[in-house]
Structure 1
């Protein structure tokens, strides 16, 4: 088995070793197995390291059937020795985030009775799922303050290999899932946890933590956060956005929240007013169309073509027309850039079946749609001209009345 150098020293980023195996997986990805490695494979919620082997990029590291596979961008030629270099910035970032999670989970469980169910270290943020239903702003503030106190105390972090019996003499946060030797990560008086991840020598190297917020995940809570250099990255992003808003609004920073709130209220009021005016216009349009229908025996037919009308507008207009023309059939077709959209409806005094009629005609334009016997809508390609498609709908609708 490959000797895992990162367990001996998480700060080691360069090493020279022997090539044990060069192969490719079932998907054709080339990989190598080494006699020893400083590359951490994905596991325990922590992502893999990246770097290079003999100047060939390592893009993934996995432990498969007991062997540590280093997936590379190009096959590595047979060589007696291999020189490896781990990307330190990625490694140290993962060390900061993972250790921050240990401290956070310990504080949440010991001081707020919230157990951690799972942990995910993402590219930009980190999250843990908690056995709880909600988190108050007061709780978040206290938790963040307490975690940063522990970080600032610069407590030592130890890692020890021991038997399960020996580990059980410590106040473990959760039961061990292994029977053989276990690696215990110890932050004295804070956390005692079986863990295979990489960690710094002291909590001070985590630098700081910022809680970003929480969301409901089924019956649990997902809490998102960042540590160390990621806090500065998040601050830079938010500062950039805030600076942009200040430039647009010409307001002091402390007044921006109130200004945005006022603008949103104004926007909602205008949207409501616009919707009311649009509804009025549709009412007038429906009245005009219903007043001048094409007669077809005892049934009046309202047939109209449009350009770039949305299906929602066609639906609203169709409903208003049939209200004013209970003995009518309404055929509305809108021509878009590369498709046709339509509404086919009948008034309350008409005995046809518009859904059945539409199903006969829709295949002509590869249309999809649906509705009820009295009101159908849909859309498809421009395989037919709008006028011809409308005539086909009208013919099919009248057939259902015979």
Structure 2
């Protein structure tokens, strides 16, 4: 493990190494293997480091068959045999904060709730752990978070070292190691003893604030989202700016935001209900006017009309109200726009299946649709004028009425 400099010093940001092998991954990305490296490879829930080897960007790092491959943006020139590596320190330290924060939070869950952590993922924006719990109350959440931050503020030392079997047997491990050789244990004295290969700061104080953001049930456990350190500060600053903007917009103080929002939601719901009632009355008035002007096909009243810019939902509402008010009515409706939309409907006194009418009409506009004998809808290309399409449907209706004996 001496070639893995990140185990010797997690704070080392640059190094010099020999290029021992070059290669190309199956996806075409070039890589190099070095005599030693400070680049942490992806593993244990922690993403890899990024940075540069000379002037070439390191995209990611992974261990394959015991060797650490540095995947590069471009191939390393053959004449280059010695390189200076520099890791992206902001990314590394962020990962150190989040990973150590996970250790502290998981240990707090075990101490406060007796709940074991069964999974961990360090994402670009958020960190998640899966905890073996059936329920998570607000009181338990707050108690665990408070205990975790207490450990942070105590600035306890964090040490990490490889141990032999004899020492391993004496440590009060929170979980058993997943490897049998080169077992490395991360230790926060009198709080957490955990087998781990990740990078960590030297003390809990460097983790910064640990903040749980939310949780959900996941595969029988509880999955929590949290952030630490600089991530937590950025998140707080962003949310504080949002609160200021919303307070200014609503012309109220921060303490009154929830109450004011509840009042606005209540007002919105009342206005929406009033608007819906007005729209219903307007639609009913429009439908009654159309029924008065409807064409007569024997005992059947026909409303044949095209609209501009109406949605198919609005056509359906118009048709539904029409046949509810007039069981002897048939609606042949169209709406023009990017597509030509059709809605056909008939009242309960009319024995004509309108889904058959629309099936025989849609080919005119290369359209698709469906429905039932009482109401059908569809749409297609506006390649034929809407009035011509409805005229075709009317001819089909007249033939169907004659056949049905209306």
Shorter-chain TM-score: what band?
A: over 0.9
How far off its partner does 1:359 sit?
Answer: 3.2
Greater shift, 317-326 or 180-189, is seen at 180-189
- Alpha-carbon separation, structure 1, partners of 2:220 and 2:348: 47
- Alpha-carbon separation, structure 2, partners of 1:13 and 1:393: 76
In structure 1, list runs of 5 or more residues that go unmatched. Answer: none
How far off its partner does 1:13 sit?
Answer: 1.2
- Alpha-carbon separation, structure 1, partners of 2:135 and 2:381: 48
* Cα pair 2:60 2:72 within 8 Å, conserved: yes
Post-superposition CA distance 1:322-341 (Å, at most 9, x none): 112323321221112x2122
Q: SS of the residue aligned with 1:44?
A: coil
Q: SS of the residue aligned with 1:391?
A: helix
* Cα pair 2:323 2:346 within 8 Å, conserved: yes
- Alpha-carbon separation, structure 2, partners of 1:32 and 1:394: 74
Please give the residue correspondences for 1:7-156 in structure 2 after superposition, counting only pairs within 5 Å. Answer: 7-78=7-78, 79-156=80-157
How far off its partner does 1:321 sit?
Answer: 0.8
Q: 2:357 matched to 1:357?
A: yes
- Alpha-carbon separation, structure 1, partners of 2:392 and 2:68: 66
Q: SS of the residue aligned with 1:60?
A: strand
Q: SS of the residue aligned with 1:305?
A: strand
1:388 alignment counterpart: 388
In structure 2, list runs of 5 or more residues that go unmatched. Answer: none
Distance 1:323 1:181, change over 3 A: same
- Alpha-carbon separation, structure 2, partners of 1:366 and 1:130: 55
Q: SS of the residue aligned with 1:18?
A: strand
How far off its partner does 1:387 sit?
Answer: 1.8
* Cα pair 1:290 1:324 within 8 Å, conserved: no
* Cα pair 1:98 1:121 within 8 Å, conserved: yes
- Alpha-carbon separation, structure 1, partners of 2:366 and 2:168: 67
- Alpha-carbon separation, structure 2, partners of 1:392 and 1:331: 10
* Cα pair 1:6 1:198 within 8 Å, conserved: yes
1:215 alignment counterpart: 216
Greater shift, 278-287 or 150-159, is seen at 278-287
* Cα pair 1:2 1:34 within 8 Å, conserved: no
1:311 alignment counterpart: 312
Greater shift, 257-266 or 79-88, is seen at 257-266
- Alpha-carbon separation, structure 2, partners of 1:393 and 1:175: 75
Distance 1:396 1:93, change over 3 A: farther
Q: 2:190 matched to 1:189?
A: yes
> Aligned residue pairs: how many?
401
2:340 alignment counterpart: 340
Please give the residue correspondences for 1:161-200 in structure 2 after superposition, counting only pairs within 5 Å. Answer: 161-163=162-164, 166-200=167-201
* Cα pair 1:353 1:397 within 8 Å, conserved: no
Moved over 6 A (4+): none
How far off its partner does 1:262 sit?
Answer: 1.0
Distance 1:7 1:389, change over 3 A: farther
Distance 1:215 1:378, change over 3 A: farther
- Alpha-carbon separation, structure 1, partners of 2:281 and 2:358: 29
1:160 alignment counterpart: 161
Q: SS of the residue aligned with 2:352?
A: coil
* Cα pair 2:344 2:377 within 8 Å, conserved: yes
2:250 alignment counterpart: 249
Post-superposition CA distance 1:147-191 (Å, at most 9, x none): 110011111112122346753442222233223332211212222
- Alpha-carbon separation, structure 2, partners of 1:168 and 1:365: 78
Distance 1:307 1:53, change over 3 A: same
Distance 1:5 1:378, change over 3 A: farther
1:379 alignment counterpart: 379
Post-superposition CA distance 1:64-91 (Å, at most 9, x none): 3333222222222121101110000000
Post-superposition CA distance 1:299-342 (Å, at most 9, x none): 33211111221222222111111112323321221112x21222
Distance 1:71 1:395, change over 3 A: farther
1:288 alignment counterpart: 289
Distance 1:309 1:61, change over 3 A: same
TM-score (structure 2 length as normaliser): 0.91
* Cα pair 1:358 1:396 within 8 Å, conserved: no
How far off its partner does 1:102 sit?
Answer: 0.8
- Alpha-carbon separation, structure 2, partners of 1:113 and 1:379: 59
- Alpha-carbon separation, structure 1, partners of 2:302 and 2:357: 15
Greater shift, 221-230 or 356-365, is seen at 356-365
